[in-house]
Every structure is written in C-alpha cells, then in structure tokens.
Chains A and B, each alone.
Chain A
Amino acid sequence: MPPSPCAACHSARALIVRPKNHQKLCKTCFIAVFEAEIHHTITANALFHRGERVAIGASGGKDSTVLASVLKTLNERHDYGLDLLLLSIDEGIRGYRDDSLETVKRNARQYDMPLTIVGYDELYGWTMDQVVEQVGKKGNCTYCGVFRRQALDRGAAMLGVQHVVTGHNADDMAETVLMNLLRGDLPRLSRSTSIITSTPAATPEASLANIKRSKPLKYAYEKEIVLYAHHKALDYFCTECIYSPEAFRGTARELVKNLERVRPSAILDIVRSGEDMARLTPGYEPPSWGGTCAGEAEEEAGCGSSVGRSAGGEMARMAVKLEADEKAGEEGLETEITLEKTGRRGKRKTEKAPRQPGKQTLGRCEKCGYLSSQSICKACMLLEGLNKSRPKVAIGDAQIDSVTNGLSQASISPG
C-alpha cells in the first residue's frame, strides 16, 4: 500500500491520522491545524482581551504543558497582547507532585514565563501527606478535591490575576457531561459545559471573587493533545497520584473511550449535547460577561490531569444515597396515598411540593470569603476537623500562625 499524501498540503507524506476525524496529515500540517483550531476557539469565544494578565494552571501534565506552549505560540503569532504566567499548586505529595513541579520549573524556563508555586501547606496549613497521615488513604481524595477546587483561585488572588486558564480538554468535558447525567446534577451540568465561568462577588473589591476561568482546549481531543506534545517534543510529566490510583479508572472515562472507538466524533457530540442540555435546564441563564453569571467554580482537574475522573467508590456511594432517597420518597408517597379524604388534585399538589429541586443560593464563606452555598465553605469545615485532631505540641502554635497567615495572604488584594 503506497503512503498517503497529506490531506491538507497534498505533498508531504501523511504520518498522523487525526483522532477527531481520521483525517491523514503530515506533521507540519497537523501542528498548524491544531494551533489554528485553538486560535479559532479563543477568538470565537472572545476568551481574552488585550493587556489581560492570565495565569495558566500548570500541573506539569500534558494538558497544561500543551496549553502553555500553544498560548505562547498563539500570543506571539496573533499578537493577543497577553501577559502570561504559570501558576502551580503543590499538594505536598512526595514522590508525585515534587517531581511534576520540576517539570513545570523547566517549562517556565523554556517558555520564559514567570512561575508561582503555591502549596497546600501555605494555603491551608496542611500538606496532603499530612492529611493522609491523619485521616488515612481512604477518603483523602475528598480533602484534596475540596482544597484543590479553591487553591487556583486563591493563588490567582494572591497574584492579583483575574483570569485563570486550565487545560480541560474535550475528553474531560465529555466525561463530565456523562458523570453529571449519572449523578443527576443538572446545575453542575449547566456550569460544566461553559467554556468561561466566573465567581462574581457581591462587592467588586473582594479579590477571591471575580476570577474568570476559561478552557481554551475545551474542544481539543486528548489524543491530539498527546500527538501535539509528542511532535513538538514538549517536556511533560506523566504519572498517577500515589494516593489514588483508582482515579484513572472512573466509569464514565471508560465509557467515553469506548464511544470514541465506535464513532470518533462521539466526544465532541457529547460536548455538543451537554451544551444543548444546559439550555434545557430549568433556571438556565445564558452566560454573559460583566453580567450576573453566578456559578460555583467548576471542579478542578482531578488527580493526574483530567476533570471528572471519579474515585472508584463513587458509583457505590451515589447508589447508597439514591436508594435512601428513593425509600424516603416512596414512604412519603405511601403516606400521602393513605390520606383517603384528600382529593386527587390535593394529592398531586402535595406530591409535587417536596420534589422541587432546592435552588442553590450562593453566598460567601464567613471565614475566608470564598464563594459558598453554606455559611462556611467546605474547605474551612474540613480544616476545622483536621485542626481539632491535630496533636497539641509546642510546634502547634507556629502551625496555627501559618494557617492564619495563609488565609490573610489570600485575602490581601494587591493593586
């Protein structure tokens, strides 16, 4: 079989079959097409404005490395006029994060971008190694996930940056759409499909709010990101979180991969469905910038580099909760049915009332000022639990000061 010519330039030999549409391309054209597509996503969605200072959430993994590389290339090629910098979160997991951060440090030198590393110990007073020591391996993902969700925003606030970009790709988005359908989480389905989200504040001065998040790689396939990194010889780190190896075996992820095998466009098709369904969600309002788009910061990328990957036990935990809800619901219905004197309409009305999904009211945490639907945000509650269990030794006072300092720093609004 003779080698196929590139479908784009028709001259060079095709070396790459695009995962997205099985188009055959040469190396040069693949890189050009990939970059052109990211550029189109950026301009079509007006992600940036000239002079904007943008922090790239950098983990050392392939997604954030490709994101940093592409943004640098496009910023220079198309003169976006952006001030780009790298922002990394150090969870404090020896043997995993310290190695990946070495990769980010090299990236910072290669791309000539300033790098800031913010540690969990700096923000919360606890490293994940210490958390695991305290609570054990089981359940530590909950702590890490909750802390991580806020950490990028807190880090950006410390730097006075108003825009954070993350490396969520199309596979992550598809996985999130399916997971939210399985979880029955419509509000999150709506938020997770947006390419831009923000955490508006009641008062514009508060620095922990008004931080914009965007995902320039939202429509890029994970396989193409890997191919791009490979053909540009990018330096990235690849391993699993040592505390949560199951994180890579989420059920929705496997389903997405199988669907992609059957029909390559399925990943984008799911993303499209997610966007369409978001519009069908009760109470949905179209995203508008400068408007009152309220939304909890979407889940940060999970262990590794992919959002939506669930720990192995998530399906089981969901099932238990749903079963309990269902039993309560049925008992409620049975109670209502026995009310013989109630007319048919009356029954229907009483049945409907408890089914109304509770609307989420977003306020701010009393302790740290972060956006939260509770009076105290989850991270502060978890911290409180951890601190109560902390052994009281002489060094304890210093640790408490560290926590206070971390929070204080997060609250400072420079500039």
Chain B
Amino acid sequence: MTQDVCKKCSMLAAVVTVRSDPLCADCFARFVNTKVVKRMEGFRTRYATAGEERCLLLPVSFGVGSLTLLHVLDRHLVQQCERYGRTGYALRVLYVGVEGAERERLAMLREKYRHPVTVLPLAAVFESADDTDGADGVSGASEVDADADHTDDADQGNGTDKTKDTQGNSTEAAEKLTTLLAALTPTSTADVISILKTRLIANYARRTGCEAVLWGSSTTRLAETALAETAKGRGFALPWHLADGPSPYGVAFHHPLRDVLGKELTAHAEIVFPELLPLVAEEVLPRGTIDGLMRGYFASVEESYPSIVSNVVRTTGKLKPPPPGVARCALCSLPVEADQLGIYGWGGDQAAGRGAEGELCYGCSRAVPAEAAALLR
C-alpha cells in the first residue's frame, strides 16, 4: 500500500484519516483549530468592548478534551493579540480535585499556559457560601483578586474569623459528601459526582463573573452523555446537557469541540503537543456503570460508524428545552415540573396510589436513595 498524500494540500504524507480524508499533520491541526474557532465566533475581538474583558471559564479535568481545548484557545488568543492587538475574551482555568494529588500536572499547566488556575475540592459544592456568594459582590471581587497560584481554601488573606468559618464549612461539607457517596451504588456514585462537579463549576463561573463555561466535550463525549442520561431516566434534561447557550445554572454553556470526535482529539494530542501527553489523565470509568458502558459502546461505534456519533448529537440538539418548571431538582438543579418529581405517578409506575413526591427529578431519584436525599437539603 502506497503512502497516502494529504487530501487537502496534496503535498505532504498523510498521518491521520479524518472522515475518510487522509490529512497531513499541519492540515489536521488546522482542521481541529477551524472547528473550534468556528464555535468561538461569538467571542471574536470585534465584539469585545475596549477595557471590558469577557471572562470564560475552562474546567480542566486533564482529559484530552479539556487540555486540547485549552491549547487551541491559548493559540487562538495569541493569534488575536498578534493580529488585532487585543483579545475577544480571557480564560480562567478551574480544576476540581485535590491540589496535592495533581501537583505536578498543575505546575506544568501553569508553566505552559499563562491563564489563572484555581483548584477547588468537590466538597466545596456543599459549602453554604457557594449559594449566597452568587449574589454577593464583595466575595466575587475578592475571588477575582485572589492570587491565581493559591487554592481558594488556602487563601489566607482574610481575617481570622472568616478563616475559621470557612474551615468549618469545608469540614462539614466534606463529611456531607463522604456520607452521601457512601450510600450510593457504583453507577450512582459516578453519576452524582459528575452532577456535583457541574454544579460546582457553574457556581464558580457565576461567582467569578465568567460569562460562560467552555466544556471540552468531543462529539463522542456528547453522544455518550445523551444515551447515558437517557438510560438514567433524565431524558428531559438532554437539551440542557448538550446545547450551547444559556443554561439553568445562570451561566452559558458552550462545547467548542462538539464537532471533533474523541479519537480525533487523541490523534491531535499526539501530533500537536506530544510534550504534554504526560499531562493527560483520562478518567477511568468502571465497566459496571452506565457511564462506563456508554463509554465503551461509543468507542466501538466511533471506530466503525463515526457518522452515527455525530447524528446522535445532532438529533438530541433538536430537542427543545421544556418550559421552565416551578420546581428544581435538589441534586442536579435542573428545572422540573412539580408533577414530575420522584419515580411515582407516571405511566411506568405500575403500583397505584402514589403520586409525584420528593425533591429530586426522576433520574436523581433513581441514583440517590430516599434516606440519603435528606443530605441534599
């Protein structure tokens, strides 16, 4: 078999096949860049008011998606600076986890890219300050001024009393999280952790004045989410999970990598920034969870039938969000009709006599047992 020539430039040897087109390294990198930049149309320099910088939050999980997005956007900002002398937006990076566990990765991140990096523990989602700070300008300002090299919890710039209060909050929140997770099955644990991360990230974005959250989800990841949420009973939530634009969390969600397949991201990382490969720590999803099953399923679909992956995302993108419900799920915070709370009172509940009840949507009611749900109040 002769070496394929790049379909686009017809000059260099092809190193990767994209949608049946062989591409060289340069054209492939351009392909990915183009897909992302096209999705960032709304944040071009012409839309930026002088002196008023638009802030965007990029949560980094050290998966190949979020790292690729960070890399591409970092280049995009440099490019905007060189061409127009200013940028259309600024990036803020957030990592949810324990600083100590990822110290080396975070150090490389800070060294390689010049954007402020914040680390938050997952338990922070339960700190009561999260909810009240949303409307508190003072805390917001304080947050923006915080040194980017320190975690919020390690911030010693406040008075003694506040430090004591914060620490009390943290301990209580951590205990709450531990108790909650201990009551769950493996598939529920993965589910709940994912939900809490989303809430924490959205709260942080809102609190720090970020206009939008940029998720590093590929086409494949979005398709996995669509079928996984369907299997968990959250079909009503698909528009919120997959669409770009306003979200129920009070901050916009965008998925700039939504047109790139997961396998293309992996190939891109190997070609464009191999020196960062040690940084990649793909999340391992156990086979015995719904998310893990969907990860495995779409890995094979993507390999054989990539068009179907795109089609799933396109299809669910056509679903329109439900009218804003009066109630909100106590776990995922999504709007729910009051008569849709809980797992009773619908056609599939074949035991007569119980109606909608509780404070959780159908999917979260399946994930969290009733006794543990009290922790969410």
Interface residues of A (CB under 8 A from B): 36-38, 40-41, 44-45, 170, 177-178, 181-186, 195, 218-219, 255, 258-259, 262-263, 265-266, 268-277, 279-282, 315-316, 318-319, 321-323, 325-327, 357
Q: Which of B52-60, B244-252, B308-316 contacts the other chain?
A: B308-316
Complex Cα spacing A268 to B232, Å: 9
For the complex, count residues of B whose C-beta is within 8 A of A: 48
Give 18 A-B contacts (CB < 8 Å), ordered by A residue.
Answer: A40-B350, A170-B348, A178-B227, A181-B312, A186-B318, A219-B348, A259-B231, A263-B366, A266-B231, A266-B232, A269-B363, A271-B348, A279-B322, A280-B238, A319-B305, A321-B307, A325-B307, A326-B19
Q: Lowest 3 A-B CB distances belong to which pairs?
A: A273-B235, A322-B307, A269-B233
B239 touches A273 (CB 8 A): no
Give chain A residues whose Cβ lies under 8 Å from the Cβ of B61. none
Q: Is the interface of B mostly helix, strand, loop or mixed?
A: helix
Inter-chain residue pair count (beta carbon < 8 A): 147
1/0 contact string of B255-294 vs chain A (CB within 8 Å):
0000000000000000000000000000000001110010
Does the CB pair B230–A178 fall under 8 Å? yes
Which residue of chain A has the shortest Cβ distance to B234 in the bound complex? Answer: A273
Q: A272-B235, A275-B346, A279-B322 are in contact. Are A262 and B315 (CB under 8 A)?
A: no
Contacts of A271 in B (CB 8 A): 348
Which chain A residue has the least Cβ–Cβ distance from B228? A259
Return B91 CB to nearest CB of chain A, in Å: 25
Smallest distance from the beta carbon of B227 to chain A beta carbons, Å? Answer: 6
Of A170, A270, A277, most buried by chain B (CB within 10 Å of CB) is A277
- Separation of A225 and B370 alpha carbons in the complex (Å): 29
Consensus secondary structure, chain A interface: helix
How distant is B69 from chain A, measured CB to nearest CB, in Å? 22
Which chain B residue has the least Cβ–Cβ distance from A348? Answer: B41
Expressed in whole angstroms, the Cα–Cα distance for A327 and B19 within the complex equals 9
User: Cα distance A189–B293 when bound, in Å?
Assistant: 22
Q: Which residues of B contact A265 (CB under 8 A)?
A: 233, 366
A37 touches B231 (CB 8 A): no
Cβ contact within 8 Å between A315 and B238: no
Contacts of B62 in A (CB 8 A): none
> A266-B290, A277-B238 given. 9 additional CB < 8 A pairs?
A184-B311, A186-B319, A219-B350, A263-B187, A272-B348, A273-B234, A315-B304, A319-B306, A326-B310
Identify which of A38, A184, A219, A321 contacts B314 (C-beta below 8 A). Answer: A184
Contact check, A41 vs B347: say whether CB atoms are below 8 A apart.
yes
Residues of B within 8 A of A41 (CB): 347, 350
Asked if residues A263 and B304 are in contact (CB atoms below 8 Å), the reply is no
Selected from A36, A45, A185, A255, the residue in CB contact (under 8 A) with B347 is A45
Which residues of the other chain, A, contact B350 by a CB distance below 8 angstroms? 36-38, 40-41, 219
Minimum Cβ distance to chain A for residue B240 (Å):
11
- Complex Cα spacing A181 to B298, Å: 13
Q: Taking A259-B293, A280-B321, A282-B318 as contacts, is the C-beta distance between A319 and B308 under 8 angstroms?
A: yes
Q: Is B162 an interface residue (CB 8 A)?
A: no
Q: Once bound together, how far apart are the Cα atoms of A28 and B72, in whole Å?
A: 64
What is the bound-complex CA distance between A127 and B233, given in angstroms? 42
Does any Cβ of A come within 8 Å of B320's Cβ? yes
Q: State the CA gap A195–B314 with chains docked (Å).
A: 27
Nearest CB of chain B from residue A257's CB, rounded to whole Å:
10
Determine whether the beta carbon of B289 is less than 8 Å from that of A275: no
Q: Judging by beta carbons under 8 Å apart, are A269 and B236 in contact?
A: no
Given A181-B316, A273-B234, A326-B310, do A262 and B288 touch, yes or no (CB 8 Å)?
yes
Q: Does B229 have its Cβ within 8 Å of any Cβ on chain A?
A: yes
**In B142-175, which residues have CB < 8 Å from any A CB?**
none
A255 touches B314 (CB 8 A): no
In the complex, residue of chain A having the shortest beta-carbon distance to the beta carbon of B186: A262
Task: Decide yes or no whether B351 CB sits under 8 A from chain A.
Answer: yes
What chain A residues lie within 8 Å of B293 (beta carbons)? Answer: 255, 258-259, 262
Given A181-B226, A270-B230, A272-B235, decide whether A263 and B290 contact each other with a Cβ distance below 8 A.
Answer: yes
B288, B304, B318, B348 pick with most chain A CB within 10 angstroms: B348
Q: B185 touching A263 by the CB < 8 A rule?
A: yes
Given A255-B293, A281-B319, A326-B19, A182-B230 contact (CB < 8 Å): no
Q: Is B239 touching A181 in the complex (CB atoms < 8 A)?
A: no
Q: Are B366 and A322 in contact (CB under 8 A)?
A: no
Centre residue among B235, B301, B305, B311 by max chain A CB count within 10 A = B235
Compute how far the CA of A51 lies from the CA of B223 in the bound complex, rounded to whole angstroms. 47
Say yes or no: B366 contacts A269, CB within 8 Å: yes
Q: Is the pair B297, A255 in contact by a Cβ cutoff of 8 Å?
A: yes
User: Quick one: closest B residue to A322, CB to CB?
Assistant: B307
Tell whether, in the assembled complex, residue B236 and residue A277 are in contact, meaning their CB atoms are under 8 Å apart: yes
- Docked Cα-Cα span, A38 to B290, in Å, equals 28
Check if B307 sits within 8 Å of A280, measured CB to CB: no
B231 touches A270 (CB 8 A): yes
Given contacts A263-B187, A280-B321, contact A40 B346 (CB under 8 A): no
Residue B2 lies at the interface, judged by CB distance under 8 Å to chain A: no
| Complex contacts, B362 vs chain A, CB 8 Å | 269, 272, 276
- CB-CB < 8 A to A281: which residues of B? 318-319
Given A280-B236, A315-B304, A322-B308, decide whether A44 and B288 contact each other with a Cβ distance below 8 A.
Answer: no
- Closest partner residue, chain B, to A220 (CB atom): B350
- Is the beta-carbon distance between A274 and B310 smaller than 8 angstroms? no
- Judge if B49 is at the interface, Cβ distance under 8 Å: no
Cβ–Cβ < 8 Å partners of B347 in chain A: 41, 44-45, 195, 218-219, 275
Q: In the assembled complex, which residues on chain B have CB atoms less than 8 Å from the CB atom of A321?
A: 307
Query: Which of A258, A325, A327 counts the most chain B CB atoms within 10 A?
Result: A258
The one of A181, A195, A263, A325 in contact with B315, judged by C-beta atoms closer than 8 angstroms, is A181
